[in-house]
Homo-oligomer: A and B are copies of this chain.
Amino acid sequence: MSEGDANLRARLVAAGVDLVLREGQSAVSLREIARRAGVSHGAPRRYFPTHVDLLSAIAREGFADLTARVQNTLRDVDPDPRTQLTALARTYLNFAAAHRGMFELMFRHDLLNSGRLRLRETSLPLFAVLADLVTQVRQPGDAPAPVLAGALWANLHGIAQLWAWGSLPLATGATDDDALLRATLDAHLGPAPHRPPEDTCHCCTTSAN
């Protein structure tokens, strides 16, 4: 049994991940994934009763990937929580921009809430990292930590969404993507003490795996 024909299950997920990264969400049909995995269109059914189940597994991989990227980034960066939050945010936005199809798939609500897999819970570790950092930078007088973390996450997510389809530059005229992020962080966490010489996040310039 060579490396290539391992678990068909894993091969299907891998083919799906590759497909959604390369061609976008609309390309991830059950039959196309089966084709790329070199099996008949009925084969996936043995492991994923439904198309949605397969998509959920693919999206799970996306969450794992994003979480790993975030953790890698945080490891390479000054441990100051505010700096870490900035790095986390940049990683999140870079991921959304670089892997739009996967990002869309990950947050499809029909995947998040269906099946026994509970895809939504897969996103919790990632959110926990953010919540932990927020707790550290929270100042007295701010909103309760969970609310603050939720609001910040929502803001991040909204930026990712809105600027993914190009609405923000069109509506705001701001071509500087980073300005929005800085404004968001300043708004929720208070003005940055000073701007560390942090240059661009390179998490998504390396290969996907």
Interchain CB contact (< 8 A) of A171 among B124, B155, B164: B124
Contact B173 A110 (CB under 8 A): no
Total A residues in contact with B, Cβ cutoff 8 Å: 49
Distance, CA A153 to CA B171, complexed state (A): 10
Task: Indicate whether A179 sits within 8 Å of B147 (C-beta atoms), given known contacts A154-B159, A154-B168, A161-B107.
Answer: yes
Interchain CB contact (< 8 A) of A109 among B124, B165, B183: B165
Q: Which of A1-9, A32-40, A76-84, A184-192 contacts B (4 or more CB under 8 A)?
A: A184-192
Query: Which residue of chain B lies nearest to A184 when distances are taken between CB atoms in the complex?
Result: B151
Task: Indicate whether A161 sits within 8 Å of B171 (C-beta atoms), given known contacts A147-B179, A183-B147, A188-B187.
Answer: no
Query: Which chain A residues have a beta carbon within 8 Å of chain B's beta carbons?
Result: 26, 104, 107, 109-110, 112-113, 120-121, 123-124, 127, 131, 143-144, 146-151, 153-159, 161-168, 170-174, 179-180, 182-184, 186-188
